[in-house]
Amino acid sequence: MTSVKTRPVADVAAPTLVTRDYITTWLRANGYSYFVDCDGDIGGIWDNRMFHFLILGGGNALQIRGQWNRLAGIGKVPELLDFTNKWNMERIWPKAFVRVRDDGAVVVCGDLTITISSGLSLSQLDLQLKCGLATACVLFDTLDEEFPDPVRAAR
């Protein structure tokens, strides 16, 4: 019979309420630069893309939301909607969506939203934040391939 090694219960970190301080502690521990905006939301830049870490629903959900670093014109909306719909049908996360801003610029975002009402251990927080960042970067890299930058292509 093979023995299975398990970690002692004492080594398993208890879930902790996810707060902005908990997130900024993780960011600092990983050597990441970040900012806190005027609404108190935490953000940063990864691979030249803007990300925010939002606590939603009175502390019931954590959302890691990234925005593609390019703006599109309104004429690109049908193509971008086709892309994001296909992305969402083929993948669980990040959720991809198109937004038309008040100024008419079109942006593509990706987010991972998880329930945190019971808290997260540090390793769970680490996994979720890294997953949100990494998968959104894959989304944006795929967008870059699918919609090449016309300025870069003209060089």
How does DSSP classify residue 25? H
**How much is the pLDDT for 99?**
97
Q: How confident is the model at residue 83 (pLDDT cuts 50, 70, 90)?
A: very high
> Rounded to the nearest 10 degrees, what angle do helices 77-90 and 122-146 cross at?
140
pTM score: 0.87
Instruction: Report all structural domains of the chain as residue ranges with CATH numbers, in order of start.
Output: 15-148 (3.30.1460.10)
CA distance 3 to 138: 39
| Residues in Cβ contact with 3 at an 8 Å cutoff, skipping those fewer than 6 apart | none
Residue pair 110/138 in contact (Cβ under 8 Å)? The answer is: no
Computed on alpha carbons and rounded to an integer, the radius of gyration of the chain in Å comes to: 18
